Structure 1
């Protein structure tokens, strides 16, 4: 028999992390350091792009959206996780769970849309270089970014809104963090509309970017092979190959995590591992792959650091000279 609970007074309970008492504090330290590392890497990329006018180009302006998105995802996941580790309390209010689920899905959808826009930018740059300034003009670039985030907030906002009910029939979140599938399992009554719309969102958010990335990269490889330029070929393969590998890993990990929620027979530990990996690894890997390993960003970051360090060195040198004169 189902019992009705009010979302305003009921506290939800997430799955146990199953960490032994001696390992709780080390896990807390590791989680906190991981979160701080993610913030540091992504803020470094953000500030490097923002403070250097040479990087105010379409490619880097699109890249600017990725660390913003990754920090949103990490902030949705880590603070709640490490606080529950320290307090050993896996309870969460419905409103906090709803916000965490909203940010989690905004992060996942935002990553797909941003990577798709970056793939399109590389396609235009390599396959249509003469039209690049026209197709990726400031106005067109602004339109791409607005469309990208509008789609993200509209599709995910409606997805989560369908699960928002005043009465729920369960208080158990079947995951280590809140997400749409776990919230849907709390809902009383018929959830067919939620299922149909959820499948549409999965097909749109994951299917369309996959199609865009595969088609654009096929065209890029064809163009590079036809031109027979070894420098262009190696640069394109390095840039696009890394992008494609990271994109496909994120694509299939996210897809399997979603599928695992739809099949009750899916192993619980596998579902946990897939869900956590989507929230942990991309925010660490993305700034390293797309940001700090990009040659122009590296050069501008080194120049920026030297610029900040040089005045300090000069000041110390002058202080030493003054002390010697005394």
Structure 2
């Protein structure tokens, strides 16, 4: 239900869409979502703690990797707790500034995934294709520039997207999704020309994809060429073990994003499926990434095992 009013009387309390959940399924859905959230938070915090506290992980690869679980925590925390709260309380309302902040953080998460994966791919390119120069190229200052560029470019592009909301008259109070994002916020307006907003939205989406995909393609193609030119099996295994997790994360992100987009293109798709499809963007990677990097990254796996063994010895 949408309520229209003049911009002068715009209310800060907005109504937000909800899931059509049978009463008996309310608490099972809530506890399932809560378990996913707690699992993601605990696993991502564990990886962050390992990278911070274990000196053997104080390497460029893991310093760059540090941004990935941090970004995952931003994405899932910005989205899931508020949705779970609505499922239980049935309040289905959101404060406008909170809605804008949620939308901003969710878009930062999406752009962050692409830029961080590009930074990680570049690091693997240097490590595998230029191993003798790795330490001279990936100096602390270079790593800092790479990380700052990834987060800074994301902040500038997404910040510009939400800056364009300033001054746009709003005359509706209904968010058509279960979480706030740029499209749902734009639907609060009426009678305004949103051409610039739409063009800029497409521009930053294309820019993020082009930059990320270009860097990753460049890096992984050169890695494959290097592996085939140097036919040692250990070189091939190193390339697969260090890059497979990153490629999997990228493909997962692109897949869930495509599913979410397609769910709005087909009329036969139910509203609940559309809402869940959109949520997958902020659920799948924060839950799967710790598992992928825990399994595929030998240093993280062995470090975790070593820490657990130390704790057991200390407790005996």
Offset of 1:236 from its aligned partner?
A: 1.3
Q: How many Å separate the matches in 2 of 1:283 and 1:54?
A: 24
Over the residues paired in the alignment, what is the CA RMSD in angstroms? Answer: 2.1
> Hey, what does 2:31 align to over in structure 1?
29
Q: How many Å separate the matches in 2 of 1:216 and 1:128?
A: 11
TM-score under structure 2 normalisation?
0.92
Query: Greater Rg, structure 1 or structure 2?
Result: 1
**Residues 1:187 and 2:189 aligned together:** yes
> Hey, what does 1:309 align to over in structure 2?
312
Q: How many Å separate the matches in 2 of 1:113 and 1:170?
A: 34
> Hey, what does 1:102 align to over in structure 2?
104
Q: 1:177 is paired with a residue of what secondary structure?
A: coil
> Hey, what does 2:89 align to over in structure 1?
87
* 8 A Cα contact 1:165 1:187, kept in partner: no
* 8 A Cα contact 2:122 2:216, kept in partner: yes
Offset of 1:240 from its aligned partner?
A: 1.9
Offset of 1:112 from its aligned partner?
A: 0.9
> Hey, what does 2:46 align to over in structure 1?
44
Q: How many Å separate the matches in 1 of 2:216 and 2:222?
A: 10
Q: How many Å separate the matches in 2 of 1:309 and 1:155?
A: 47
Offset of 1:275 from its aligned partner?
A: 1.1
**Residues 1:232 and 2:231 aligned together:** no
Equivalenced residues, count:
312
Q: How many Å separate the matches in 1 of 2:231 and 2:306?
A: 34
TM-score under structure 1 normalisation?
0.89
* 8 A Cα contact 1:104 1:179, kept in partner: yes
Q: How many Å separate the matches in 1 of 2:284 and 2:104?
A: 19
* 8 A Cα contact 2:241 2:297, kept in partner: no
Once the two structures are overlaid, the 10-residue window that deviates more, 271-280 or 70-79, is 271-280
Offset of 1:202 from its aligned partner?
A: 0.2
* 8 A Cα contact 1:105 1:156, kept in partner: yes
* 8 A Cα contact 2:4 2:171, kept in partner: yes
Once the two structures are overlaid, the 10-residue window that deviates more, 288-297 or 194-203, is 288-297
Aligned pairs for 1:1-326 (under 5 A) are 3-5=5-7, 9-165=11-167, 167-188=169-190, 189-255=192-258, 257=260, 267=269, 268-291=271-294, 293-313=296-316
Q: How many Å separate the matches in 2 of 1:305 and 1:206?
A: 39
Deviations 1:3-35 (A, max 9, x none): 324586342222221111000011111111111
* 8 A Cα contact 2:252 2:285, kept in partner: no
Q: 2:172 is paired with a residue of what secondary structure?
A: coil
The change in CA–CA distance for 1:294 and 1:77 in structure 2 (over 3 A counts) is same
Alignment gaps of 5+ in structure 1: 314-326
Q: How many Å separate the matches in 1 of 2:7 and 2:261?
A: 26
* 8 A Cα contact 2:17 2:178, kept in partner: yes
Offset of 1:207 from its aligned partner?
A: 2.2
Offset of 1:213 from its aligned partner?
A: 1.0
Q: 1:167 is paired with a residue of what secondary structure?
A: coil
Q: How many Å separate the matches in 2 of 1:43 and 1:258?
A: 30
The change in CA–CA distance for 1:46 and 1:8 in structure 2 (over 3 A counts) is farther
* 8 A Cα contact 2:16 2:174, kept in partner: yes
Offset of 1:109 from its aligned partner?
A: 0.7
Offset of 1:266 from its aligned partner?
A: 8.3
Offset of 1:286 from its aligned partner?
A: 0.9
* 8 A Cα contact 1:5 1:169, kept in partner: yes
